[in-house]
Each structure stands twice: as C-alpha cells, then as structure tokens.
Amino acid sequence: MRRRDFAASLVLAAATSLIAPSGRAWAEEKKKKTGGPDYIAIDTLTGATNKAGGRRGVMTVDCGLSVFDQKLHERAVASLPRLRAAYVQVVLIYAAGLPPGAEPNADFIATALQRQTDLVLGRPGARLLIGAIVAN
C-alpha cells in the first residue's frame, strides 16, 4: 500500500470516529426503556432441556418486575444480581426436569419466580410479570 493511500485511510478513519457515536452512547440510544418508571426489566433467563432422541433444547423465560413502592423499588434494583441468580436457579431446575415434548407450565414457573422475588426482597410488594416462556 502506498503511503498516500495509507494516510488517506487514516484521515478517513479519524473522521468517522468523530462523526459516529461512541459505543457507550450508541448502546444507551439502542436500549429502550419499557414499562414505565415502576418497571424493572430482567434479562432473559435460559435453561437446558432434553428433547426426544437425547438431543438438547433450551427453555427461555422473559420477565420483569413491577414495583410501585419507591423504597422497595430501590431495594429491587440493588438486589438485581441476587434476584437474577434465584430466577436462573428456578429455571434451570424446572427445565432440567421437563419431559421431552412437554409444554412448560407457565403458572408454576410464575409462582416459583414470584416466591423467589418475595424471599430475596424480604417482603411482598414487587409483582413479577411474565412476558414469554419458550421451550424448543
């Protein structure tokens, strides 16, 4: 590559980095606030399942928390790692015991996750909202 072409590509790269938003700014723009000020989004929970013929599958659960009490909301935000760990444990155990070809029981999963929410936060008041449960 000639020096002139190399210098031109460096100038172009520098100009592009000035025009394009930084990675952090782009991630903040991309992230959508959903559910209002009382909603806390929980990352998708996954667990491994067994399929017919010995193959492996995945069960995913999308959920969030609705907390109207401001003090409890702050506690829930601070406890997100503990909440997520408790939720993942429930989903992993349930998915591992799911028979091949069976549909997940949404009521059981929601009840178990709500129980974990109340245990981690120390009192009731946060309502668990289930978005979707998919097993494939």
Summarize pLDDT for 91-109 with one digit per residue, the tens. 999 999 999 888 999 999 9
How far from 127 is each of 46, 65, 74, 124, CA to CA, in Å?
Answer: 21, 6, 14, 8
With 70 as the cut, is the pLDDT of residue 67 above it?
yes
- CATH for 32-135 is 3.30.479
CA distance 129 to 35: 11
Q: Where are the domains of the chain?
A: 1-31, 32-135
As a whole-number percent, the residues of the chain with pLDDT over 90 amount to 65
- As a whole number, the mean pLDDT across the chain is 84
Give pTM, 2 decimals: 0.74
